[in-house]
Structure 1
Amino acid sequence: MKRTLTAALMFMAGTAAAGPVSFADWQEQRLSLFGSNDYTFGQTLQMMSDGSVSIAWGRVPQADWGARTASWTWDVSEGVPPTDLSVKGGDDRNLAVYFVFVPQAVAADLASADIRALLGRDDVRVLQYAYGGSNPVGAVLPSPYGTPGTGVTIPLRQAGTGSHSESVDLSSDYARAFGGQPGALIGLAVSGDSDDTKSTIRAAVGGLSLN
């Protein structure tokens, strides 16, 4: 156990400083062979989606593996219509911010995995906060994708446009969604999803901070 924890603490899963998150080193993961979103990576993440879907993701540095709160701003100038975020294949949303947790004992082994590999594992837990949909704000919606019980969507804003600041308690939301306490936060992601409604998204995320 001591050796495992020491290895985990020594591992650096990225180059960003603890606290504020830069998107400069993030990557895109396509979810379809026929289209993807357009991202601009820097201190903010800008996204354009035209009837498409994909995920932009980054690894969390070791200094932030124990983060239990997060804050950010997101802005939507064009967005998708209201949808039901609990329905597979009908759950378009303007933006979603993902927090990817794994058991501390395997954090060092998984910290270099890409987002597709992480989202396919039974021991990974994902909190996904959404700007979009018609579901009640604050509801905990089981993800219709992947292994049941491994991911949830929590709407923070329903479908619409505008700029908003968010602050979330990851520990509290994790307990509501999965029970118990979160493990190591090794991954972050942002997605936009407009493929089902064939609509358009123009949006950005910035000021993402972990504590």
Structure 2
Amino acid sequence: MTQHPTRLYLYLVALLLYPGLAHAADHKSAPPAKPAAQYAAFDAHANEHVTIAAEPCDDPKNCSFFRLEYVQHGFIPVRVIITNDRDVALSLDDVRIQFLSANNDKIPAATDDDINRRLFSTKSAMGTKIPLIPLTIHHPPIDKKIGEDDADFGFNGTTVQAHATSAGYLFYDIRGLDDPALRNAELYVKQVHTLDGKVDLFAFTIPFNTWLKANPAAPSNQSRK
């Protein structure tokens, strides 16, 4: 009696016929977003029923789902988590999310162009304890990977629905800051308002020292030599 092909055989045939499936199988996902108050560093506005958290990644091993080596090239990815416990949706159309350094440098989130310019040049890579993985012209187009990372790990819209949590990664250029850049730094979030425009929320300030205290082994707890 003829046996049916095994699942493994069918899967290998599918990979040969549809190479894109191999990429999909290897692709990693970011951890599901939890309510903002469950992270180490957050600012809760009890009266406004909104909480915002910040979860930085200063070690590439902890955000290996990214397609590119942002940390090695002077950027720190920060996951911003917004939990809306109001009965109305929030709008992020006008939001400003800044990295405030210990010296009060105000750094906006990097644009795709900012990241693209940095990662195209291996000369601009940081000399750190982290092994450098240089980007060369042999890689697929970098701008495509940046766009894919944004689509997979950035905010999926500018509306935070009522009684819901929305999260996304932003990237901040910390190459010119004193090291370690997270120490005594903050994430400052302003210009969040309700979708109907009736309520403007007070600004949120999330201290990274709280995250550093909860993550004593993090690279940002130690100055780079």
Query: Higher relative contact order by CA 8 Å / sep ≥ 6: 1 or 2?
Result: 1
Higher strand share: 1
Choose 1 or 2 for highest CA Rg. 2
| TM-score normalised according to structure 1 size | 0.28
Higher helix share: 2
| TM-score normalised according to structure 2 size | 0.27
